[in-house]
Structure 1
Amino acid sequence: MEDNNDEILDGQNEEVQSQVSLPQDIQRIIIGFLPGRTVLKFCSVCKFWRDCIVEPAFVDHHLNCALRFRQAIACFTSVDNGLVQMYMFDPITVNFKRTEPVFSSRFHMSQPCNGMVCAYDLKGAAEVLNPTTRKHLTLPASESVYQAQYSEYFLGYVHSTKEYKVVALRHWIKHLTFEVCTIGTLSWRTVRGSEEEELLKTTKPVVVNDEMHWLLLDDESSHFTRKILSFNLTDEKFSYLDVPDSVRDRDLELVEGEGKLHLWSMPCKGAAYTESEIWLADSTRQFWVHLHNIAHPSVLGTKPFFMYKSKLFLGSQKRFIYIDILDGTVCYVDIPSGENIISSGMHRLGELNDIINRFSLCWVIIKRLWTIFSCCWIFLNKNSTFTRCLQVVLSSCAILQAGEKNNKLSVEDVYRRHKQDSAGAMK
């Protein structure tokens, strides 16, 4: 089947090449600037385009183009019919369009990271999902996932190594533990144990480049904070960052804005002043720079999502809001009736990240090796001769190779097919 597809694509390739006079290098560059859903359709046009699109170098080129030219706002909502809906907003005009449902609303999810999200069940499995390609990769289970009360998962990216890492927060009765899994590995490692007793203001971190940040509460009875807990995804070490002295008695929220860490300082309830402040952490995280004062609008019950250029984007469960920090104007985007916002963030349009494809292939290989081993074990119990065992291995490989072109075969399918072949040979 696959050979026939290659022959068809070869024929289409010759036809397309006869009509297109552009060099292949130029074609590759042009395709890299197109949205991901459009690029995926090109896989069936000609063999050159298909081979080009699956190359890791092209995927990196496509990601860089998306980071520079095709950023959009992704907003995920839970729908009454039990699904999660995805909306795409233009960050300039805030015009939005609705896409197809992504997955079941029983899952929680992290903020988008390079076009991907981490969807998880509080007491069960977690997986990395690419909404563009609709492909997903299930993460390995941790030994502590069933012992903790519940778990939350957050996705980050290490630019220096081009690795994706998932940070899990395990909630116990009186403390939290942090675990990390690098996408493609088969295990979790604990990076912060139960000896730490800091109180996080919110468990959802703000992810800025290679770091995740949480605000720390002064004590259980206070909503004030003096420090920020930071986790570096590269070396997997924690550090602390002090908030500005002048805002320690105010309500604080962390915000990501175009690859930089911002602090939104809001007046507390009953305060005499009504203005909010925006602060920016310098690149070394050594000091803060005051950016803007904005008139505090009446947006109670909202949480900040992110900043983009001069706009601060916030939201409640039913409404998406953005504030122009230069002139203080406020605009509202109402979510359709029956839907609740569960996550939002900057989304790289058309992300073709191949991390899921690569490591899904690793899982397929492992499963096939296990299938072959299982078949050998079945037949060794019936006939212990080495020759018979070798025949089983070769036969299983041939059957699996045939099954790859049609569909996946289980161990029972392999066993049944082999018995039929053996019976035919005896006749």
Structure 2
Amino acid sequence: MQGLSKTGRSDVPEVLVFEILHRLPVKSLTRFRCVCKPWSSSFQNPLFITKHHNHHLRNNNLNLLLKRCHGNDRRYYTYYFSQLSTEKGHNFSVKQTVHLPFFENFLSHPQVDGPCNGILCLHDLDDKAALWNPSTREFKTLPQSSIQCPPSASYIPYYSVYTDFDCRGFGYDSQTDDYKVVRFATIYFGGYDEHDPGQGYVEFDRNEKVELYSLRSDSWKEISFPEVSAYGDPLFNNYINGFYYWLGSGYYDYENYILLFDMVKEKFSTLPLPLPMTSGSYYLDLLDFNGLLGALLPQGEGTEKSFDLWVMNGLWTKQFTIDFVPGVERALGFWKNGELFLESSDHELVLFDPSTRELKNLGIHAHMGTMQISAYVESLVPINGRSDGRSKYEEHIIRRPPGGASN
């Protein structure tokens, strides 16, 4: 970098140097770690990390990561991520593909939560979970669950026990500067009745629990289960300003709610839905809309859909309606100027501009229902506690140029 003398000192004032550095992309800062020790140390300083992230957040410097899969047979599905170009005129072309062998089992494809300060949480229906910072390339596998199988299962002849992990949530505790993952677990146990073997396998009972992971302690703990059960896999980012949101159903009144979890207080509470909901009447997706809780309600049948966006700001109000869009399977996420990423009925990625009603095919396709878009701002936040910025889990990340996978 110009301005450095032979002694390594710069003629540029230090304050100005760091004012420039915090505006640079993570890739550049990673290269500059070796310039001098003060720079390397500064890039690990929480104040620098926060200032860097906030600058790119204010300037809406978004990156796009698309999860998808290919394959016509479920036994041979291949899941991977595509990094999309956001440069003007590139039409969101694929820059790079990223494969995570840690989630290579087709039954255990990774669901994505976040981003939260540039970090993503990946998980499957089993016990597998990981944190990933795609900017620094750090990848951290989370420890196994702390939940124990109920001892009451031991009296059942020929019993079997298995646990499903579902409805995760990932967010940030600003009070303790900690990243947390909350997840619901259902323990099923059953077996074959020795007095009536012809009856086949019978589910005798189930037990539901909730556990919370802390990155600071790198451990799980069990927490109180709410009176509202979460359901569904969020398609969008459901972490908003310290709270994570799910759709929920009451255990006792069978009413539908929005269930939220406070990452600081570690407590659950509920909100009403935008509109009364009866079984099968409508479905909605929750999302972060400009820092507020939003609810996107698709209207219409088949591939002729419109979308209503409701926003919670003390009360639910309808923000706008996107009139009928032809050939649409589902919405995937909003872009910078209100454009909406959609999955077409041909299972291709398209971009819809509500102001012009233009529908642009981006030439990227995937197997039905496997696309998920994550728009994130780059971050230097470490997740492995290592000072060199590298991950000891690099073997879990395989990067290929665009030709390494079909569009």
The CA distance in 1 between the partners of 2:6 and 2:368, in whole Å, is 48
The change in CA–CA distance for 1:130 and 1:245 in structure 2 (over 3 A counts) is closer
Please give the per-residue CA displacement for 1:88-112, whole angstroms capped at 9, x wherever unaligned: 3429765344225252242514233
SS at 1:132 equivalent = coil
SS at 1:166 equivalent = strand
Q: Which amino acid aligns with 1:235?
A: K
Please give the per-residue CA displacement for 1:235-256, whole angstroms capped at 9, x wherever unaligned: 1211111123377743322222
Q: Which amino acid aligns with 1:30?
A: I
Say which one has the larger Rg: 1
- 1:6 is matched with which residue? none
- 1:372 is matched with which residue? none
Deviation at 1:257, TM superposition (A): 2.0
Scaled by the length of structure 2, the TM-score of the pair is 0.70
**305, 310, 317: which is aligned to 2:333?**
305
Q: Which amino acid aligns with 2:219?
A: S
- State how 1:198-277 maps to structure 2 within 5 Å: 198=229, 200-202=231-233, 206-216=238-248, 226-245=256-275, 249-269=281-301, 275-277=306-308
Higher relative contact order structure (alpha carbons within 8 Å, sequence separation ≥ 6): 2
The CA distance in 2 between the partners of 1:318 and 1:295, in whole Å, is 21
Q: Which amino acid aligns with 1:207?
A: Y
The CA distance in 1 between the partners of 2:49 and 2:24, in whole Å, is 12
Percent identity, please.
Answer: 21
**154, 165, 172: which is aligned to 1:151?**
165
**159, 172, 181: which is aligned to 1:166?**
181
The change in CA–CA distance for 1:210 and 1:315 in structure 2 (over 3 A counts) is farther
Q: Does the CA contact (< 8 Å) of 2:240 and 2:292 recur in 1?
A: yes
- Unaligned runs of at least 5 residues, structure 1: 1-11, 365-427
Q: Does the CA contact (< 8 Å) of 1:75 and 1:86 recur in 2?
A: yes
Q: Does the CA contact (< 8 Å) of 2:22 and 2:51 recur in 1?
A: yes
The CA distance in 1 between the partners of 2:294 and 2:249, in whole Å, is 18
The CA distance in 1 between the partners of 2:372 and 2:7, in whole Å, is 42
Correspondence 1:22 to 2:12: yes
- 2:66 is matched with which residue? 75
Q: Which amino acid aligns with 1:265?
A: L
SS at 2:372 equivalent = strand
- State how 1:89-108 maps to structure 2 within 5 Å: 89-90=85-86, 94-104=91-101, 105-106=103-104, 107-108=109-110
Correspondence 1:129 to 2:132: yes
SS at 1:356 equivalent = coil
SS at 2:271 equivalent = strand
- Structure number with higher strand proportion: 2
Correspondence 1:292 to 2:292: no
The CA distance in 1 between the partners of 2:163 and 2:82, in whole Å, is 29
Correspondence 1:178 to 2:191: no
Scaled by the length of structure 1, the TM-score of the pair is 0.67
- Structure number with higher helix proportion: 1
Deviation at 1:26, TM superposition (A): 1.2
- State how 1:307-322 maps to structure 2 within 5 Å: 308-315=336-343, 318-322=347-351
Deviation at 1:128, TM superposition (A): 1.3
The CA distance in 2 between the partners of 1:16 and 1:257, in whole Å, is 50
Deviation at 1:337, TM superposition (A): 6.5
